[in-house]
Copies of this chain bind each other. A is one copy, B any other.
Amino acid sequence: MGNSRFDLGLERLASIDGEAGYKVIESLQDICPDLAKFTIEYPFGDIYSRPGLDLKSREIATVAALTALGHCRPQLKVHLNAALNAGCSEEQVKEVLLQMSVYTGFPAALNGMFALKEVLLERQVE
């Protein structure tokens, strides 16, 4: 029998983050495969696979938290994509970022919005 947390996590990662998620995992293989394993198992196998909150709401929470932290631009971009993939409309994602001006200040909200601009452009190209 396999490691069900890992298998479940890998499946969730693929369905939520798609290509971008795989790239993060791959780029960890030569430096710290255990961090890749833990990233699959805990966030995706344990947390994102829980019932009790729909994926759209989960991604809204993550986008808000990463905008608040301010120093995690690559992860913010991954989750702006994930929010759109989960069924959030562009308008809904913009509202989350707009609202962050209230809680984390205008600079963090602006930086979040410019990250979204890049994400939307990249999605158009693909």
Contact = CB atoms under 8 A, between A and B. Distances in A.
Given A69-B107, A107-B75, A117-B31, A61 B63 contact: yes
A28 B94 CA distance: 12
Nearest to A39: B106
Copies in the complex: 6
Interface residues of A, number: 61
Contacts of A100: 61, 65
A70 B120 CA distance: 26
B102 A53 contact: no
A14 interface: no
A32 B103 contact: no
A47 B101 contact: yes
